[in-house]
C-alpha cells in the first residue's frame, strides 16, 4: 500500500467519523429545536384561538366558532383542533388525517418528534365558554428536519471530496522527493551510483537524500578501491615489471584462453628471441640503464609481433616470446631476421657492439591443437640451433601439415554453413551449493557433409578468416530461437566479438528478441573478454540493446586482461565466466588464487555471479567453492549433449 493510499484511507475514516458525529449533533439539535417550536406553536395557537373565540362567542354560536377555527386549521400545521363546551361536550372538531410527508418513514422513526397538544380556556366576558384544544401536526417539522439532514450530508461530502483532492495535491508534492529517493536506492542496489540533486523542503526527506548521496559515494569508492587492488594484483602476477609486457604466466593465460576449448586454434609461428649476453650488458652499464635498454628493445620486438597480428611477452631473463599468428614459417624467418638486425643495430648504437649477440628460434604451429608447451619446446630447440647458425635465425616448419587436404576445409565449412548443416549441443552451468542447473550454454557444431561433426575449434578459424562469423551467429541464434523449448531452463548463446561490433547485427538481434519477450527474458549472450576489451564502446551498445530486449549480457573467458575488473562496473554484465586457463591455475598458483578471490569479491559487491569454466575434477571444484564462485561448468557437471534434449 502506498503512503498516499494509506493517508487517504486514514483521512476517509476520520472524515466518516466526523461526518456521522457532526450529522448526529446537527440533527439532534435541530430535532430538539423543532420540538420546542412545535410545542410553542401548539400553545400559541391555543391561546390565540381561545382569545378570539372568547371575544366573538358571546352568544355561543357553534357555526361562528367553526368559522373562527377554520382559517387556523386550514394552514395545515394542525392535526386536530377541538372546541369543547364548559361541560366537556365537543362543539367543533376538525381533524387532518395523518398523511405521508416528503420524508422516509425510517427517518421519522430515527428522529421522533412528539406532536404536542395545548389547551386554552375560552371565556365570553366573565362567563366560562369551554376550552379549545390544539394538536400540532409534525409533518412540516419532519420535512424540515429531513431537508436539513440531506443538505448537511451533501455539504459534508463535498468538503470531504475537496479535502481528498487537496490531500492528493499536497501528497504529490511531498512524495516527489521520496520517489526520487526510491529510484536512487534501486539504482544503488543495482550498483549504479547516482547522486540525487533535488533538495526536498521537508527536513526528514532532505536528510534521507543526504544520507543516500553519501552512501552512494562511499560504496562506489570502496568498489573502485577493490577493483584497483585487483588490477594491481593482476598486473603484478602477469606482467613484467621492466617492460610492461606480459610475463610467462600472463602470456600463457592469454594464449590458453584465446585458443582453448571450443574457440579458434592457434596457427602461425611462435618465436623466442634471446639477448644472449644480457648479463654482460648489465655488468657493463649497470642495472638501471640495462633495464631502460631492455624496455626499448622489447618494445621493438612487441611492435614486430603486433605487425604480424600477435603480441610479445617476456619469457624470463634474456628471452622474449613472440606470437606471430599471421605468418607461415618462411615469412616468419624473414621478419625475425629483420628484427634481429634492427636489435643488433640498436645495441651497437647504444655503444655495446661487443654484446650484440641476438638469436631467434621459431616453431610453426601445425596439426589440430598445438599446445603452448609443445610449441615453446620446439621454439627452444630452434633457438639452440640458431646459436650454431651464421645468421642466428631458425624457424622449424610444422611437422604434420599433411593432414589430409587442409585446402578444402574452408570450402567444407563454407558449404556447411550455407546449407545450414548446423547442430546444437548444450552444456549446463550448475550452482555451487546444490548442483542445480542454472543455465545451458548452447554450442554450435557443423556437419561436414560426410556425416562427421566438426567441433568449433576445427571450423572457427576458417569462419573468422573468411568473415563468416556474423552469418554463423545469425544462424545459431535463429535456430536457438526456433527450437528453444517453451518455459524451463535459461539459455546462453555465444556471440563472436566481430558480430558484436556490427550495428546491423545488433539491430537484427534486437528485432528477433522483440518477437518473443518471454523467451528473450530467458536468454543470455556471452561475448569473449578479448572482444570486449578490444571495443568496450561496442560492447556497451550491445549490452544495452540486449538488455532493452529483456535478455542478459555476459562476458566469457573473463579474468585475463589487465583491466578486466573495471569492465564489471562499466558494463555490469548479468554474469561472467572465469576463463578455464585461470581456473586450472587457481589450485597451483597462489597469485591466481588471490586474483580469483579479488574478482569474486568485486563481482559480489556488484551482484554479478561468477562462473568457473572448465571445472573438470573435484579438486578444482573444492578450490573454486572455497573462493566463493556462484557456479561452475565443465566435465565435472557433464559435457555437451545434443540440444534441445527431450
Partner 1 sequence: MLHDVNRLLNRVPFVDDAVHWREEDYWATPAESIGSNGADCEDFSIAKYFLLKELGVPIARLRLTYVKSLRLNQAHMVLAYYARPDAEPLVLDNLEDTVRPASQRKDLVPVYSFNDEEVWVELRGRAGSPQQLRNWRALTQRLDWERRT
Q: Which is nearer to partner 1, 136 or 180 (CB)?
A: 136
What's the closest the beta carbon of residue 160 comes to partner 1, in angstroms? 36
Name which of 108 and 395 has its Cβ closer to partner 1.
108
| Cell triple for 532 | 570486449
Of 367, 376, 372, 352, the closest CA to residue 294 belongs to 352
- Ramachandran assignment for 452, one of left (phi > 0), alpha (psi -120 to 50 degrees), beta (any other): beta
Instruction: Kindly state the smallest distance separating residue 174's Cβ from partner 1, in Å.
Output: 54
* Residues 316, 324: Cα–Cα separation, whole Å: 19
Q: How far is the CB of 112 from partner 1 (least distance, A)?
A: 8
* DSSP bridge pairs for 273: 320, 360
Nearer to partner 1, 121 or 160 (CB): 121
Using the 8-state DSSP alphabet, how is residue 452 labeled?
P
* Smallest separation (angstroms) from partner 1 to the CB of 152: 26
Please state the length of the chain: 646
Give the residue with the Cβ less far from partner 1, 15 or 111.
111
Q: Closest separation between CB of residue 61 and partner 1, Å?
A: 17
The span from the CA of 394 to the CA of 383, in Å, is 7
Residue nearer to partner 1 on the CB measure, 51 or 153 = 51
Interface contacts to partner 1, rule CB under 8 A: 39-40, 42-43, 47, 50-51, 54, 86-87, 112, 114-121, 123, 125-128, 131, 135
Provide the minimum distance between the beta carbon of 136 and partner 1 in the complex, in angstroms, as a whole number.
9
C-beta of 107: minimal distance to partner 1 in Å?
17
Q: Closer CB to partner 1, residue 123 or residue 267? A: 123
Shortest distance (Å) from residue 40 CB to partner 1: 7
Let me know: does 205 contact 178? Beta carbons within 8 Å: yes
Residue 12 or 128 with smaller CB distance to partner 1: 128
In contact, 467 and 417? CB cutoff 8 Å:
no
Q: How many CB atoms lie within 10 A of CB 302?
A: 21
Closest to partner 1 by CB, 113 or 363: 113
Contact assessment for residue 446 and residue 460, using Cβ atoms and an 8 Å cutoff = no
Rounded CA separation 116/328 (Å): 126
User: How do 319-324 and 269-275 pair as beta strands?
Assistant: antiparallel
Q: How far is the CB of 154 from partner 1 (least distance, A)?
A: 31
| Distances, alpha carbon 383 to alpha carbons 162, 248, 342, 345, 362, in Å | 93, 17, 18, 20, 7
Q: How far apart are CA 360 and CA 383, in angstroms?
A: 6
Closest to partner 1 by CB, 131 vs 139, is 131
Taking the C-alpha atoms of residue 646 and residue 638, their distance in angstroms, rounded to an integer, is: 17
CB closer to partner 1, 36 vs 173: 36
Distance between CA atoms of residues 452 and 61, nearest Å: 136
Judged by DSSP in three states, 605 sits in helix
Which residues pair with residue 311 across a beta bridge? Answer: 323
CB of 39 vs partner 1, minimal distance in Å: 5
Amino acid at each position: 500500500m502506498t503512503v498516499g493510499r494509506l493517508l487517504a484511507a486514514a483521512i476517509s475514516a476520520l472524515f466518516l467519523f466526523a461526518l456521522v458525529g457532526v450529522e448526529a449533533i446537527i440533527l439532534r439539535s435541530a430535532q430538539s429545536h423543532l420540538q420546542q417550536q412545535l410545542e410553542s406553536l401548539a400553545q400559541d395557537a391555543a391561546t390565540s384561538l381561545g382569545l378570539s373565540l372568547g371575544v366573538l362567542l358571546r352568544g355561543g354560536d357553534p357555526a361562528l366558532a367553526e368559522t373562527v377555527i377554520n382559517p387556523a386549521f386550514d394552514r395545515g400545521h394542525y392535526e386536530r383542533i377541538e372546541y369543547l363546551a364548559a361541560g366537556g361536550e365537543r362543539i367543533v372538531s376538525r381533524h387532518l388525517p395523518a398523511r405521508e410527508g416528503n420524508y422516509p418513514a425510517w427517518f421519522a422513526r430515527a428522529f421522533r418528534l412528539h406532536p404536542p397538544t395545548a389547551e386554552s380556556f375560552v371565556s365570553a366576558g366573565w362567563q366560562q365558554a369551554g376550552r379549545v384544544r390544539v394538536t400540532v401536526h409534525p409533518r412540516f417539522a419532519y420535512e424540515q428536519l429531513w431537508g436539513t439532514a440531506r443538505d448537511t450530508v451533501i455539504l459534508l461530502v463535498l468538503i470531504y471530496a475537496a479535502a481528498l483532492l487537496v490531500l492528493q495535491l499536497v501528497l504529490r508534492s511531498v512524495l516527489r522527493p521520496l520517489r526520487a529517493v526510491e529510484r536512487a536506492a534501486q539504482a544503488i542496489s543495482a550498483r549504479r551510483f547516482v547522486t540525487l540533486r533535488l533538495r526536498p523542503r521537508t527536513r526528514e526527506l532532505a536528510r534521507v537524500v543526504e544520507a543516500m548521496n553519501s552512501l552512494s559515494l562511499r560504496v562506489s569508492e570502496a568498489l573502485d578501491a577493490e577493483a584497483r587492488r585487483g588490477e594491481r594484483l593482476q598486473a603484478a602476477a602477469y606482467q613484467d615489471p621492466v617492460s610492461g609486457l606480459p610475463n610467462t604466466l600472463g602470456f600463457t593465460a592469454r594464449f590458453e584462453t584465446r585458443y582453448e576449448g571450443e574457440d579458434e586454434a592457434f596457427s602461425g609461428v611462435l618465436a623466442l628471441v634471446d639477448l644472449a649476453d644480457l648479463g654482460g650488458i648489465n655488468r657493463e652499464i649497470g642495472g638501471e640503464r640495462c633495464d631502460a635498454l631492455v624496455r626499448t628493445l622489447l618494445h621493438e620486438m612487441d611492435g614486430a609481433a603486433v605487425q604480424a597480428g600477435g603480441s610479445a611477452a617476456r619469457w624470463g631473463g634474456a628471452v622474449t616470446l613472440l606470437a606471430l599468428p599471421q605468418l607461415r614459417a618462411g615469412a616468419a624467418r624473414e621478419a625475425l631476421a629483420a628484427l634481429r638486425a634492427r636489435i643488433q643495430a640498436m645495441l651497437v648504437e647504444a655503444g655495446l657492439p661487443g654484446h650484440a649477440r641476438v638469436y631467434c628460434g621459431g616453431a610453426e604451429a601445425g596439426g589440430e591443437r598445438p599446445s603452448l608447451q609443445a610449441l615453446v619446446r620446439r621454439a627452444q630447440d630452434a633457438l639452440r640451433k640458431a646459436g650454431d647458425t651464421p645468421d642466428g635465425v631458425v624457424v622449424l616448419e610444422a611437422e604434420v601439415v599433411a593432414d589430409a587436404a587442409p585446402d578444402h576445409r574452408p570450402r567444407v565449412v563454407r558449404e556447411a554453413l550455407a546449407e545450414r548443416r548446423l547442430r546444437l549441443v548444450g552444456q549446463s552451468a550448475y550452482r555451487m551449493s546444490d548442483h542445480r542447473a542454472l543455465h545451458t550454454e548452447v554450442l554450435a557444431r557443423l556437419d561436414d557433409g560426410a556425416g562427421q561433426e566438426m567441433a568449433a575449434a576445427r571450423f572457427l578459424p576458417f569462419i573468422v578468416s573468411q568473415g563468416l562469423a556474423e552469418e554463423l551467429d545469425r544462424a545459431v541464434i535463429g535456430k536457438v530461437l526456433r527450437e528453444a523449448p517453451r518455459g524451463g531452463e535459461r539459455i546462453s548463446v555465444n556471440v563472436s566479438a566481430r558480430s558484436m561490433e556490427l550495428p546491423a547485427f545488433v539491430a537484427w538481434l534486437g528485432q528477433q528478441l522483440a518477437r518473443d519477450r518471454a523467451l528473450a527474458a530467458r536468454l543470455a549472450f556471452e561475448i569473449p573478454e578479448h572482444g570486449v576489451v578490444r571495443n568496450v564502446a561496442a560492447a556497451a551498445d550491445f549490452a544495452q540493446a540486449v538488455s532493452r530486449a529483456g535478455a542478459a549480457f555476459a562476458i566469457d573467458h573473463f579474468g585475463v586482461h589487465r583491466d578486466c575488473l573495471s569492465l564489471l562496473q562499466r558494463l555490469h554484465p548479468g554474469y561472467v565466466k572465469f576463463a578455464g586457463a585461470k581456473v586450472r591455475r587457481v589450485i597451483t598458483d597462489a597469485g591466481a588464487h588471490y586474483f580469483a578471490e579479488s574478482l569474486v569479491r568485486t563481482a559480489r559487491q556488484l551482484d554479478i555471479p561468477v562462473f568457473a569454466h572448465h571445472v573438470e575434477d573435484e579438486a578444482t571444484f573444492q578450490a573454486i567453492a572455497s573462493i566463493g564462485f556462484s557456479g561452475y561448468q565443465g566435465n565435472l557437471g557433464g559435457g555437451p549433449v545434443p540440444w534441445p534434449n527431450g
